[in-house]
Structure 1
Amino acid sequence: MMALPTLTPDNYRIVMYRLRDDDVNKFNYPAALRTFFAVNDLYISEDGLMDGYVVVFDMTGLNFGYLAKVSTQLSLVRNFMVYIQDCHPVRLKAIHVINTYPLIDKILSLMKPMMHGNLLEMIHLHPTLDTLTEYFPLSLLPADYDGGKTEAVQVHQDHTRRLVNKYSSWLKDFEQFEANEKKRVGKARKDLVGAELGGSFKTLSID
């Protein structure tokens, strides 16, 4: 997960996702979710409530093993989808899935029951990078995506290092964040997010 430095012509931030390691045995979905929430909060702290985010997800390395792992934790997937669609403070403007292949059909079949219609309309599938140019210049992407001078790994390392150095104290505190259920007004919306969200990130079965 990395926020690219240059905004689109529409003043949107591009947030890019891809697997760092294609070994499914190393994949921990709850830990990945927890990292997402922490890093996403930092992005919002950096940018404020900007005009919107454009998500680019690279399917390279994704296989059925990952889908099998995630499909056993659908309550966490549902929690994530509720956050993205109903709670995220910055609007999603588009989701571009690049380097697609037939597995994307299985992924969408899993996700569609949890998606609002407007989110489905934002999804654009790109078997190659060619059609991505219809939405924004490839020059905004890392060098290994026919973009700028710096490759994605280096962009990610530089960006992560800067955020960790700047927000190290907050990241340590993040591990202790917990909701006080005694102050909740009304009942938890378990019909939407599942029991795991009540209380804290720890009750998301993340630890």
Structure 2
Amino acid sequence: MSTHDDDSESANQLIRDRDLAELLEWFQHNENLPQEIEPLLLRRFYQCMYGVVEDTKQLIELNYALRNKHPHLFIKRDPLDDDSRRTFDYADILPLPGLTPDKYKVSLYCFRDFEPSKMHHTEDTRAFFMVTDCRFITPDDAAHPDVLSVGEVQIFDMKGTTMRHISRLTISTLRAYVKFLQLAFPVRLKAIHMVNCPTYLDRIVSVVKPFISEEVFKLIRFHTSSIDTLYEFVPRDMLPEEYGGSAGPLATLRAQTQKVLADKREYLMNPQHWYVEKQEKRNGRSWRLF
């Protein structure tokens, strides 16, 4: 790297540090926000908005407004309670290790038990957001902890999905989930891959498509003939053994994810990170005049 590149990198670093300090100060004195935010999460919001401070502020306020509008999904939660255990007993919600060559983070969602009565859509959605909230305060790539993902790739394994599963969707939960993902996520959604698609895929799509924006629907790729087409987008070394990859068995990835949830339980349940107090926020320090 040349001296000029070094100088440019140093200048960018100074700008980023200054902007993040400004954003943290703004966050701590904003009555529409919780009391605390993890530095890595703040960085994700900032990067998601390409380093534009005002856009970052808007995204942050929308994120916490939606959380507080749906506290049963985003705030009132416990990764070790019975609802969470039921979800994690029948389904996997797994961030996969490392980043793609495009610096995208990949997550996998699949059933382990195909019995439709095991599915509880609202509780399952709450579990999904607990996993992602833990992920957002954890480095994306253990080998390069300073490198943040610039995009989100989701893999949904449709194996075992029936219309009975689809009938158990809760419309209000689906709306909240899609809206949060489309408008308030601190990482940009880049692709959604549906693998092991059933023959009645068109019926499933017809149910959920009305809740998905055209922009997001264009990101969905349906892998109908073989999982081999997935390898064009996600490196095999990031995928579990069960999907032809070398990232270890699902059981190991599952145990790692559950350990993170247990370790971060206090963070997930701490209202100071999520809950917006309506009146006299911050112990009466509501002194700002507008």
**Greater Rg, structure 1 or structure 2?**
2
Q: Secondary structure at the match of 1:153?
A: helix
CA distance, structure 1, for counterparts of residue 121 and residue 97 of structure 2: 27
CA distance, structure 2, for counterparts of residue 179 and residue 61 of structure 1: 40
Give the superposition deviation at 1:122: 0.6
CA distance, structure 2, for counterparts of residue 92 and residue 149 of structure 1: 23
Q: Percent identity?
A: 29
Say if 2:187 is the partner of 1:95: no
Task: Please identify, of 41-50 and 56-65, the stretch whose mean Cα deviation from structure 2 is larger.
Answer: 41-50
Q: TM-score, normalised by structure 1?
A: 0.78
Equivalent residues of 2:133, 2:268 under 8 A apart: no
Gaps of 5+ in 1: 184-207
Q: Secondary structure at the match of 1:18?
A: strand
Closer, same or farther in 2 for the Cα pair 1:9/1:76, shift >3 Å?
same
Q: TM-score, normalised by structure 2?
A: 0.57
Q: Secondary structure at the match of 2:198?
A: coil
Say if 2:212 is the partner of 1:115: yes
CA distance, structure 2, for counterparts of residue 44 and residue 69 of structure 1: 29
Aligned residues: 179
Q: 1:60 aligned to 159, 169, 192, which one?
A: 159
Q: Which runs of 4+ in 1 moved over 6 A?
A: none
Say if 2:240 is the partner of 1:142: yes
Residue equivalent to 2:251: 153
Give the superposition deviation at 1:182: 5.7
Say if 2:115 is the partner of 1:23: yes
| Residue deviations 1:142-201 (CA, integer Å, cap 9, x gap) | 00111005111221112321x134313223436x95444569xxxxxxxxxxxxxxxxxx
Gaps of 5+ in 2: 1-92, 141-147, 281-290
Give the superposition deviation at 1:102: 2.4
RMSD of aligned residue pairs (Cα, Å)? 2.1
Residue equivalent to 1:205: none
Closer, same or farther in 2 for the Cα pair 1:165/1:29, shift >3 Å?
closer
Say if 2:272 is the partner of 1:166: no
Give the superposition deviation at 1:32: 0.5
Task: Please identify, of 119-128 and 47-56, the stretch whose mean Cα deviation from structure 2 is larger.
Answer: 47-56
